[in-house]
Amino acid sequence: MKKQNLLWMFLFLIIFINGFEAGGYQASLYSIGQNYDLTEASKGIFASVELFATMLAPLVLGSWADRTNKIKCILILMGLQATAALFIFCSSLQVIFIGGIFFLGLTTSALQFISIAALAESYPRTGRFKIGVMTAMYALGATVAPQVVDFYLRLGGGWQILFIVLFAGTMVAFGGVYVYGKFKTEEETEITGEEKASGKFIFAGVILLCIVMCIYVGFENGYAFFVDTLFTDVLMSNRGKLALSLFWVVMIPARVLVGAFSKYVRKILLTAVMVIPVITAIISRMTSPWAVLILCIPLGLASGAIYPCVLNIMLDYSANRKATATAMITTATGIGGVIFTALTGILGENLGLRNAILCLAEFFILSIISVLALNKVPTNNPEKQ
CA dist 265 and 317 (Å) reads 14
pLDDT, tens digit, 9 for 90 and up, residues 271-297:
999 999 999 999 988 889 999 999 999
Find the CATH number of the domain harbouring 320.
Answer: 1.20.1250.20
The tally of CA atoms less than 13 A away on the side-chain side of residue 364 is 26
Let me know: does 225 contact 47? Beta carbons within 8 Å: yes
- Asked whether residue 385 is domain-assigned, the answer is no
Residue 86 belongs to what domain range? 3-376
- Kindly tell me the number of DSSP H helices and DSSP E strands found in the chain: 15, 0
pLDDT, tens digit, 9 for 90 and up, residues 181-202:
776 654 544 544 434 455 788 8
Maximal C-alpha separation, the chain: 60
- Asked whether residue 268 is domain-assigned, the answer is yes
- Asked whether residue 381 is domain-assigned, the answer is no
User: Which region among 137-141, 179-183, 270-274, 357-361 has the lowest average model confidence (pLDDT)?
Assistant: 179-183
Let me know: does 333 contact 340? Beta carbons within 8 Å: no
CA dist 39 and 42 (Å) reads 5
**What's the total number of domains in the chain?**
1
CA dist 158 and 1 (Å) reads 41
For 74-131, the DSSP string reads HHHHHHHHHHHHHHHHH---HHHHHHHHHHHHHHHHHHHHHHHHHHHHH-TTTHHHHH
Angle between helices 353-362 and 322-351 (to 10 degrees): 140
CA dist 94 and 230 (Å) reads 25
- Asked whether residue 210 is domain-assigned, the answer is yes
- Asked whether residue 383 is domain-assigned, the answer is no
In the chain, the DSSP E strands lie at: none
Q: How far is CA 363 from the centre of its chain?
A: 19
pTM, 2 dp:
0.73
* pLDDT reading at 207 higher than 60: yes
